[in-house]
Structure 1
């Protein structure tokens, strides 16, 4: 694991966690993720068990719409990053 990825994962331990529920991802969820990324750079997304089978599609959609980078996925939790402007 590269030094920067280790550093990101350490920062992710204290990052804001957003729960993605059974409703999935909609425009309001995307806007909230954008706000959190702007404030914190790193956001953890925790997917509800009943939508976890589709999480890869949701993650791809979120990363594309927020212009962020996927750092890691473990179980039903994804960590994304976007550098502050």
Structure 2
């Protein structure tokens, strides 16, 4: 399997989306195009706000959102 096509999962915990997490998401989007975000159950009320923030700041698109997992995509070079 080509590693560049594999999906990585980033866990978003009670600390939420801080600059370090956002930088990690951007780096993985650049390498792989697809990133899975897994939100801890304790932050359920904030999930939608975090997803919106991540999409806006990374210029990615939301592909899927089910339960506590979101999948985002950003085409390389964009």
Q: Quick check: 1:80 aligned with 2:72?
A: yes
Runs of 4+, deviation exceeding 2 Å? none
3-state DSSP of counterpart to 2:35: strand
TM-score by length of 1: 0.82
In the other structure, the counterpart of 2:42 is: 50
**Residue 60 (structure 1) shift:** 0.2
What is the CA distance between 1:17 and its match in structure 2? 0.4
Q: Gaps (5+ residues) in structure 2?
A: none
**Pairwise CA RMSD of aligned residues?**
1.1
In structure 1, runs of 5+ residues without a counterpart are 1-10
Displacement, 1:64?
Answer: 0.1
**Structure with the bigger percentage of helix:** 1
TM-aligned CA deviation for residue 73 of structure 1? 0.2
